[in-house]
């Protein structure tokens, strides 16, 4: 037997296909493992060896019995986020602090000066105050002192509590006042300063403190000051409760780090500000296409991001930073939760941001280094095959029912590749930055998650709400019942439903919000990239000239991505569906299969 292995090193997975050339190209084994290291670096070798061993074990041979190993040309892609603005504090000379605990007490809006609970007995009647209650005071003592103050006609209009005691204090006092609890940093609350507390009824949201003019009314702000409080008013929209405090003049300063400008170099040079948003950036990119390199304004967010990309790739590939060029970017509008400095309970506010994925063009040296190291480890001849998209076309053509002309979309973890093959078998291909990993990054960012793997699971699996210990309701409204009770810790939680487990989502977001963020992230990344990729390879850049599109790659296995892409392409009359490589691999293994076919054709002189 003459056994040849094709190895596709992807951003997320490494795939192997093995064929017997003595049997007129008969595929005999396949495997897939998680990619080790960043794609296109020598760290990939460990994953390649594991994938090769797994594929060889399937046919009871060892790796050194292979005749040849063909690897793909791997282009590294790094995703990062350049924020529109980073605001260290929300408002000059005043800290506006929003808070949204799970169970506030009372109802309504209260304004007054901040005083400690112990100070109530020294106050005069008819003086409006907001009472500050530290954790050291238990709820019974707090309620007793508040009731005593009410009897002396002290105007307590609201309370701020450090412990989770809002409801039980509210239930024990003689007058209904808004109470915001779970305020972790209560020691930072300035005393004697004007404050406002608002609590909405269950199922409703605050109206006064989330309105810039409401804040201006409460704090008697000048028009210029009202402009500055727009970010905090926006951050409080949708909250059930909030506490806002004005600090002493000069106590807080504002510092803004600019987002900066991208400098795109291609057929000409364009400068575009990040604050103009993703549409303007992508329009500017199309004006200079094909792209040769990208830099960012020094001392800005985007400048720092571009330099980080170069430094990381320089360290990984052993090249000088000057030699590393960015050959493509994808810009997507998003939101980033930013910590409110001076906040009472570690609050976060959503800031507008632009997410960028950058495709880095390095010399061929890294792939040659990988090939050399792999050859040394296995003792088998290693060849660097062709361009990924071209190989994916050859693999996709093994899908039953396909024929030339054909367009493939290889949607992986880091890049979206497209290739068009006509009846004469000439291939035109393109690579674009941004794919599955960028979607995960957007989900993680917009939902304020700390766990990357949780965001990855949200991307890949459907959501549900646990309505009882014996049933869940899926995001599409369907209900599933169980004979055995579910884990009690899942009760009333939003969960990710995997084939073998249910994972609770540790956020306060409603299931509709999580679903919307997930679908929007996929739409913004995949639809944008699919349309521009197809325009680049289509004859005369006309999408209507394309009849058939085959989706390959890991993202084609997603439970909703093929539907989202098919819906979009249906506007152009394009037939689109997921591939089935070799009739049994599904959309996976296209590039690995194509590498083997390409090498087989080259030996036959085709």
* The token pair that represents 564 in the structure block: 């989202």
| Cβ–Cβ under 8 Å, residues 462 and 502 | no
In the prediction, which pLDDT does 85 show? 41
In the prediction, which pLDDT does 321 show? 78
pLDDT band at 340 (very low <50, low <70, confident <90, very high): low
| Cβ–Cβ under 8 Å, residues 16 and 55 | yes
DSSP 128: -
Range with lowest mean pLDDT among 148-157, 245-254, 277-286, 528-537: 245-254
Q: What SS3 class is residue 584?
A: coil
Reported pTM: 0.71
pLDDT at 125 over 50: yes
In the prediction, which pLDDT does 345 show? 47
| Cβ–Cβ under 8 Å, residues 361 and 81 | no
Strands ordered across the beta sheet of 471-474:
479-481, 471-474, 463-468, 494-497, 502-504
pLDDT at 93 over 80: no
With a pLDDT cut of 90, the percent of the chain lying above it is 38
pLDDT band at 179 (very low <50, low <70, confident <90, very high): very high
pLDDT band at 347 (very low <50, low <70, confident <90, very high): low
pLDDT band at 248 (very low <50, low <70, confident <90, very high): low
Q: H or E stretch including 140?
A: helix 139-151
DSSP 507: S
In the prediction, which pLDDT does 362 show? 59
List pLDDT tens digits, range 360-404.
765 555 788 889 999 999 999 999 987 777 888 999 999 988 888
Half-sphere CA count of 397, side-chain side, radius 13 A? 21
In the prediction, which pLDDT does 606 show? 58
Total length of the chain = 606
Q: What SS3 class is residue 553?
A: coil
Burial (CB < 10 A; 0-12, 13-18, 19+), residue 160, is buried
Q: What distance in Å separates the CA atoms of residue 377 and residue 372, rounded to the nearest whole number?
A: 9
pLDDT at 217 over 50: yes
Domains and CATH numbers, the chain: 1-74+364-398+585-606 (3.30.420.40), 79-86+256-361 (3.90.470.30), 91-245 (3.50.30.70), 442-517 (2.40.50.140)
List pLDDT tens digits, range 16-56.
999 999 878 999 999 999 999 878 788 899 999 999 999 99
In the prediction, which pLDDT does 163 show? 87
* The token pair that represents 500 in the structure block: 């073998």
Range with lowest mean pLDDT among 86-95, 378-387, 586-595: 86-95
| Cβ–Cβ under 8 Å, residues 56 and 62 | yes
* The token pair that represents 541 in the structure block: 């850049």
Residue 285: cis peptide before it, omega within 30 degrees of 0: no
Region of 198 on the Ramachandran plot (φ > 0 left; ψ -120 to 50 alpha; else beta): beta
| Average pLDDT taken over every residue of the chain | 84
Q: What distance in Å separates the CA atoms of residue 192 and residue 198, rounded to the nearest whole number?
A: 19
In the prediction, which pLDDT does 182 show? 83
In the prediction, which pLDDT does 350 show? 62
List pLDDT tens digits, range 395-442.
999 998 888 888 999 887 778 888 898 888 888 888 888 888 889 989
Higher pLDDT, residue 121 or 474: 474
> Concatenated DSSP letters for 354-385?
EEEEEEEE--SHHHHHHHHHHHHHH-SEEEEE
| Cβ–Cβ under 8 Å, residues 550 and 399 | yes
Tell me the residue ranges of DSSP E strands in 445-537: 463-468, 471-474, 479-481, 494-497, 502-504
* The token pair that represents 123 in the structure block: 């106050």
Strand-pair partners of 14: 9, 33
> Concatenated DSSP letters for 278-319?
HHHHHHHHHHHPSP-EEEE-TTSHHHHHHHHHHHHHHHHHT-
| Cβ–Cβ under 8 Å, residues 244 and 340 | no
Higher pLDDT, residue 310 or 69: 69
Q: How many CB atoms lie within 10 A of CB 59?
A: 13
In the prediction, which pLDDT does 91 show? 35
* The token pair that represents 415 in the structure block: 């890049």
Q: H or E stretch including 5?
A: strand 3-9
Q: What distance in Å separates the CA atoms of residue 316 and residue 44, rounded to the nearest whole number?
A: 11
Burial (CB < 10 A; 0-12, 13-18, 19+), residue 217, is middle
pLDDT at 526 over 80: yes
Half-sphere CA count of 451, side-chain side, radius 13 A? 11
DSSP 93: T
In the prediction, which pLDDT does 508 show? 80
Region of 582 on the Ramachandran plot (φ > 0 left; ψ -120 to 50 alpha; else beta): left
In the prediction, which pLDDT does 94 show? 42
pLDDT at 281 over 50: yes
List pLDDT tens digits, range 312-334.
777 766 777 777 888 888 888 88
In the prediction, which pLDDT does 252 show? 41
pLDDT at 15 over 80: yes
Inter-CA distances, 108 with 135, 176, 188, 205, 211, Å:
23, 8, 24, 11, 15
pLDDT at 223 over 80: yes
* The token pair that represents 244 in the structure block: 């806002």
Strand-pair partners of 82: 354
In the prediction, which pLDDT does 90 show? 36
């Amino acid at each position: 037997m003459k056994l040849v292995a094709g190895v596709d090193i992807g951003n997320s997975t490494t795939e192997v296909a093995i064929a017997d050339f003595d049997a007129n190209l008969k595929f005999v084994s396949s495997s897939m493992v998680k990619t080790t290291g960043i794609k296109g670096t020598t760290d990939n070798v460990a994953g390649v060896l594991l994938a090769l061993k797994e594929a060889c074990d399937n046919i009871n041979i060892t790796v050194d019995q292979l005749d040849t190993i063909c690897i793909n040309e791997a282009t590294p892609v790094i995703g990062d986020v350049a924020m529109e603005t980073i605001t260290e504090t929300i408002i000059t000379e005043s800290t506006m602090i929003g808070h949204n605990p799970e169970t506030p007490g009372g109802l309504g809006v209260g304004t007054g000066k901040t005083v400690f609970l112990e100070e109530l007995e020294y106050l005069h009647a008819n003086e409006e105050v907001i009472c500050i209650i530290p954790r050291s005071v238990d709820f019974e003592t707090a309620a007793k002192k508040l009731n005593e103050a009410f009897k002396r006609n002290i105007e307590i209009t609201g309370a701020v509590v450090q412990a989770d005691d809002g409801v039980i204090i509210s239930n024990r006092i003689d007058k209904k006042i808004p109470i915001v609890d779970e305020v972790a940093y209560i020691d930072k609350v300035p005393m004697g300063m004007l404050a406002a507390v608002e609590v909405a009824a269950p199922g409703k949201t605050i109206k006064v403190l989330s309105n810039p003019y409401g804040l201006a009314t409460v704090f008697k702000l000048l028009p210029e000051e009202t402009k500055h409080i727009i970010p905090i008013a926006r951050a409080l929209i949708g909250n059930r409760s909030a506490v806002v405090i004005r600090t002493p003049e000069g106590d807080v300063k504002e510092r803004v780090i600019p987002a900066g400008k991208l400098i795109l170099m291609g057929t000409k040079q364009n400068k575009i500000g990040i604050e103009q948003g993703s549409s303007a950036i992508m329009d500017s990119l199309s004006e200079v296409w094909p792209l040769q390199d990208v830099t960012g304004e020094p001392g800005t967010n985007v400048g720092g991001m571009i330099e980080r990309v170069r430094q990381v790739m320089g360290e990984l590939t052993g090249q000088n930073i000057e030699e590393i060029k960015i050959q493509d970017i994808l810009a997507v509008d998003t939101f980033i939760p930013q910590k409110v400095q001076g906040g009472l309970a570690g609050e976060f506010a959503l800031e507008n941001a632009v997410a960028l994925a950058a495709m880095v063009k390095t010399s061929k040296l890294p792939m040659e280094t990988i090939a050399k190291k792999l050859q040394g480890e296995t003792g088998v001849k290693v060849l660097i095959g062709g361009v990924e998209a071209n190989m994916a076309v050859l693999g996709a053509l093994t899908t039953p029912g396909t024929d030339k002309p054909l367009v493939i979309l290889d949607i992986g973890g880091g890049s979206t590749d497209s290739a068009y093959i006509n009846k004469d078998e000439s291939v035109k291909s393109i690579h674009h930055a941004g794919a599955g990993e960028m979607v995960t990054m957007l989900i993680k960012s917009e939902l304020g998650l700390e766990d990357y793997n949780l965001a990855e699971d949200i991307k890949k699996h459907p959501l549900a709400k646990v309505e009882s210990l014996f049933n869940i309701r899926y995001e599409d409204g369907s209900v599933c019942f169980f004979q055995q009770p579910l884990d009690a810790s899942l009760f009333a939680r939003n969960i990710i439903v995997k084939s073998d487990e249910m994972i609770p989502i540790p956020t306060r977001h409603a299931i509709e919000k999580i679903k919307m963020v997930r679908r929007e992230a996929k739409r913004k990344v995949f639809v944008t990239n699919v349309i521009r990729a197809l325009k680049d390879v289509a004859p005369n850049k006309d999408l209507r000239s394309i009849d058939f599109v085959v989706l390959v790659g890991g993202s084609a296995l997603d439970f909703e991505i093929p539907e989202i892409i098919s819906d979009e392409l249906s506007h152009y009359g394009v037939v689109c569906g997921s591939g089935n490589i070799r009739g049994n691999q599904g959309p996976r293994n296209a590039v690995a299969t194509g590498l083997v076919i390409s090498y087989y054709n080259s030996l036959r002189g085709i």
